[in-house]
Structure 1
Amino acid sequence: MDVKALITAPFSESGLKTLRDAGVTVVHQSWLETGKLYLGDSLTKPIKEAGADVVVVEGDEVKEEVIASTSLKLIGSARNDPNNISIPAATAKRIPVISAPGRNTNAVAEHTIGLILSVARKIVSCERFLKGDFFVNSFGDFARMYKTLAGFELYGRSVGIIGLGSIGFEVAKRLQAFGLRLLVYDPYVDNTRVRQVGAEVVKLDELLKRSDIVTIHCPPTPETKGMIGAKQFAQMKKTAIFINTARAMVADEAALLDALKSATIAGAGLDVFSMEPVDSDNVFLGLDNVVVTPHMGGNTIETMERQSAMIAADIVAFVRGKRPLHVLNPEVFERRGK
C-alpha cells in the first residue's frame, strides 16, 4: 500500500523514521517551523499538493469542507480531544480518525504543581519585585521586602481538585508528597481512584469553602461551562489560590478577574484563557497576585515524543491493514468488516 502522509503537527525524528521505514512517504511541515495555522478549508490545498492519503494535525482544522474535497484515507490528531476535526464527517466517508490520548498528562500535571508552588511561595513575585528597581538602602527596606513576599507552605493545607480524570489523578499523586489533604469534586469518579490518592470526595460548595488551593482538571462540556463564577469565588477562602490548566471556559474569566482585583481570593495560576494565543496585552498580567503562562502546560519534549510514537504506530498499523489502537470512530472498521 503506497501511502503519502502530510504532517503539520510537531513530530519527532524517531516518529518520522518509523513511518519512512514502513514505506510511508512523509511531507513534514510543522506549524512550529512554518508559522501557519490552517482554518476553514485552507488545508485542502496542501493536502492535494502533497497527494496525501493521511493528514496529521495539531491545531489545524479538518472540517467538512476539507474532508469532502480530498481523498484522505486516515486523519490523525496529535491531541487528546480533537475538536478541530469533524469526526462525523470523517465517519460518513468511512475515514478513521486517530488521536494521541494521554500525550501531555504528565506535562500538564507537573505544570500544575509548578503553578501552585509559584503562587503559594510567590516565586514569580520575588523576581518582579527585584526587577522593579528595588534597592536595600536600609535594613527596613529588607524587612519590607521580606514581609511583602511571605508565602505559605503546602504541608497541612487542603487542595481541592475539580475533576479526577487522568490529569487530575496525576496531580493528586504528586501532591501526596507534600503532606496535605486532598478534596475531590467529580460526580463521575471511581471510588477506587479516590482511595488510591487518599482523597475525600465532597460536593463542590464544600470543596470551595475548605480548600486553600482549588485546581481545575475537568473537560470542557456544556455541564462544566462556567461552573466556577462569581458565586463560587465568593465561597472560597480569601487566602485561597485558584489554578486552571484545563480550559478557560470552565471558569467565568470576568468573575475571576474581579475576584482577584477585589481580594476575594488571594491569587491564581493560569495557563488557559478565553483569548489565545496569549500575548502581552493579557489583562491578568497586570495583577501581581497572578502567574500567567501562555498555554504551555503540555509543551515538553516528552509530549512531542509521545504523540509522535502513538500516531506513527497507528499509521503503520493502518498501512498494514490492521486496526489502529487509538481510533476515535471505531465504527468505520465495523462497517468494513474488520
Structure 2
Amino acid sequence: MTESFKVRVCRLDLWINPIFDETLARNPEVHLDVASSDPSCTATREALASAHAYHVCAAKDDLPKRWWVNADLINESPNLLCVSAGGAGYDTVDVDACTKAGIPVVNQAGANAHSVAEHTFALLLAVIKRVVESDRKLRTESSFKREDLMGDEIHGCTIGLVGIGEIGTRTAKIAAGFGLKVLAYDPNVSAEEIRARGAEPVSLDTLLNKSDFVSLHCPLNAQTRHMIGAEQFEAMKPGSVFISTARGGIHDEVALYKALSSGRLRGAGLDVWEVEPPPHEAPLLSLSNVVATFHTAGVSHGGRRNVARSSAEQILMMVDGARPPHLLNPQVWERFLKRREQILGLATKFEPV
C-alpha cells in the first residue's frame, strides 16, 4: 500500500453517535466520507463508487431507498468490500445481493440488547398497570375512582418469547426477576441452548396457547413477515397481551386491531410499525389499551453508542481481513478475502482499535 492510499469508509449524514467517527479516526489509513442522504446527490453516488466499506442506516423509514444496499447500488460501487448495518436489523440491506457480489454484511446484534429488553418490560408494565390510561385521565378528567384504572400483577404469569437471540435472552433474564415462567420459540436455536438461555423450548402454537404475554424478538425476513396474523391472534389466550420491539411487518396490524377491539386480547405494547412513525389516524392508535412508542426501544444513549462503536470496529476488522463476530452471510468470507487482496493488497494491516 502506498502512503497516499486510504481505505475509504462511507456513511451518510444521518445522526450517529460520535464514537463511530472517533473509532475510525484512530486508524490513520482510513478515510471517512460523510455523504449527503439526499437521494439526488451526485456526490454521494461518487463517494459510494469509491468506497471500500459502507455503514448503512438500518432504519427503513429514515434512509432514502436510493441509498439502500441492493443490486443497483452494488453495481455502482465496484470497490465495495463490506457493509455494516447500523442496528440489529438490516431491513435496508439485500443480503442475498451482497452475497452474490462477494460482500460480507454485518449487523450489530446485541449492541443495544439491554435497552430493547428493558423497553419490552416498559411496554408490558405500562399495559398491565394501565399507566398511560391513568396519566391521561389525571390530566383531562376529574370524576373517576382509582378502581376504574385497576391494573394487574405480572408475577406468576407466563411470557412467551418468539425469538431468543441476544435480545430475547436478556428479556428472559429480566422475566425471571419478575417471577415469570418463560417459554420460547426459535427454530434457529436448539432446545438445549434455549434452556441454557433461560426459557423452556416450545412450538409456536404452544407458546401462543400458553402465554399470558407474547413478545416478539425475531428479525423481519421472508419467513417472518406477517408471521403473526389473524390465526395466531386467535390462538392466543383470551385476555393476553401482545408486545413487539422487533420489526414492523412481523405482525399484521389489521389483524391485531381486530383482536384488540373485539376484546380477544387485553392490550398491546408496540414499538414497531409497518410505517414509522404511524399516521395519527392509524386504527391501533385509537385504542386505549395500546401503548405506542416510535421504534425507540434501542434508541437510548447507551444503546446508540454501543451500536456505533460495534459498527466501526467490525468495519475495521473486515478491511483488516479479520472475521467479524456478527457476520450475516458467512458463506461469502473466502470470496471476500480474495476480493480484499485484489482491491487493497496484502500489505493492508491496521493496528488494533
TM band (smaller chain): 0.7 to 0.9
Instruction: Report the residue type matching 1:70 in the other structure.
Output: S
Q: Which runs of 5+ in 2 are unaligned?
A: 342-353
Distance 1:174 1:77 in 2: 27
Q: Hey, what does 1:177 align to over in structure 2?
A: 177
What's the offset of the Cα at 1:153?
0.7
Does 2:138 match 1:130?
A: yes
Q: Hey, what does 1:138 align to over in structure 2?
A: none
- Does the CA-based 8 Å contact 1:323-1:333 persist in structure 2? no
Structure 1 segment 216-235 matched on structure 2, within 5 A:
216-235=216-235
What's the offset of the Cα at 1:334?
4.8
282-291 or 98-107, larger mean C-alpha shift: 98-107
163-172 or 219-228, larger mean C-alpha shift: 219-228
Q: Hey, what does 2:25 align to over in structure 1?
A: 20
Question: What is the CA deviation profile of residues 196-246 of structure 1, one whole-angstrom value per residue up to 9, with x for unaligned ones?
Answer: 355333333333233221112233344433333333323333321111112
- Does the CA-based 8 Å contact 2:173-2:198 persist in structure 1? no
Among all aligned residue pairs of Structure 1 and Structure 2, give the percentage whose two residues are the same amino acid. Answer: 34
- Does the CA-based 8 Å contact 2:243-2:269 persist in structure 1? yes
Distance 2:46 2:53 in 1: 11
181-190 or 208-217, larger mean C-alpha shift: 181-190
What's the offset of the Cα at 1:254?
1.1
Q: Which secondary structure state, in structure 2, belongs to the residue aligned with residue 220 of structure 1?
A: coil
- Does the CA-based 8 Å contact 1:246-1:272 persist in structure 2? yes
What's the offset of the Cα at 1:37?
6.7
Q: Hey, what does 1:3 align to over in structure 2?
A: 7
Instruction: Report the residue type matching 1:4 in the other structure.
Output: R
Q: Hey, what does 2:44 align to over in structure 1?
A: 46
Distance 1:92 1:184 in 2: 33
Distance 1:318 1:269 in 2: 38
Instruction: Report the residue type matching 1:159 in the other structure.
Output: I
- Does the CA-based 8 Å contact 1:10-1:304 persist in structure 2? no
- Does the CA-based 8 Å contact 1:62-1:86 persist in structure 2? yes
User: TM-score by structure 1 length?
Assistant: 0.83
What's the offset of the Cα at 1:168?
1.6
Distance 2:237 2:306 in 1: 39
In structure 2, the CA distance between the partners of 1:301 and 1:88, relative to structure 1 (3 Å rule), is: same
Q: Hey, what does 2:347 align to over in structure 1?
A: none
- Does the CA-based 8 Å contact 1:55-1:72 persist in structure 2? no
User: TM-score by structure 2 length?
Assistant: 0.80
Q: Which runs of 5+ in 1 are unaligned?
A: 136-140
Distance 1:20 1:85 in 2: 25
Question: What is the CA deviation profile of residues 126-145 of structure 1, one whole-angstrom value per residue up to 9, with x for unaligned ones?
Answer: 1111222x12xxxxx4xx43
- Does the CA-based 8 Å contact 2:10-2:47 persist in structure 1? no
- Does the CA-based 8 Å contact 2:319-2:340 persist in structure 1? no
In structure 2, the CA distance between the partners of 1:260 and 1:88, relative to structure 1 (3 Å rule), is: closer
Instruction: Report the residue type matching 2:199 in the other structure.
Output: A
- Does the CA-based 8 Å contact 1:162-1:186 persist in structure 2? yes
93-102 or 245-254, larger mean C-alpha shift: 93-102
- Does the CA-based 8 Å contact 1:216-1:244 persist in structure 2? yes
What's the offset of the Cα at 1:92?
4.6
Compute the RMSD of aligned alpha carbons: 2.7
Q: Which secondary structure state, in structure 1, belongs to the residue aligned with residue 220 of structure 2?
A: coil
Q: Hey, what does 1:160 align to over in structure 2?
A: 160
Question: What is the CA deviation profile of residues 272-301 of structure 1, one whole-angstrom value per residue up to 9, with x for unaligned ones?
Answer: 222223242332111101001111121122
86-95 or 149-158, larger mean C-alpha shift: 86-95
Instruction: Report the residue type matching 1:46 in the other structure.
Output: T
In structure 2, the CA distance between the partners of 1:188 and 1:78, relative to structure 1 (3 Å rule), is: closer
Distance 1:96 1:231 in 2: 37
Q: Hey, what does 1:333 align to over in structure 2?
A: 336
Does 2:69 match 1:62?
A: yes
Distance 1:95 1:43 in 2: 24
Q: Which secondary structure state, in structure 2, belongs to the residue aligned with residue 107 of structure 1?
A: helix
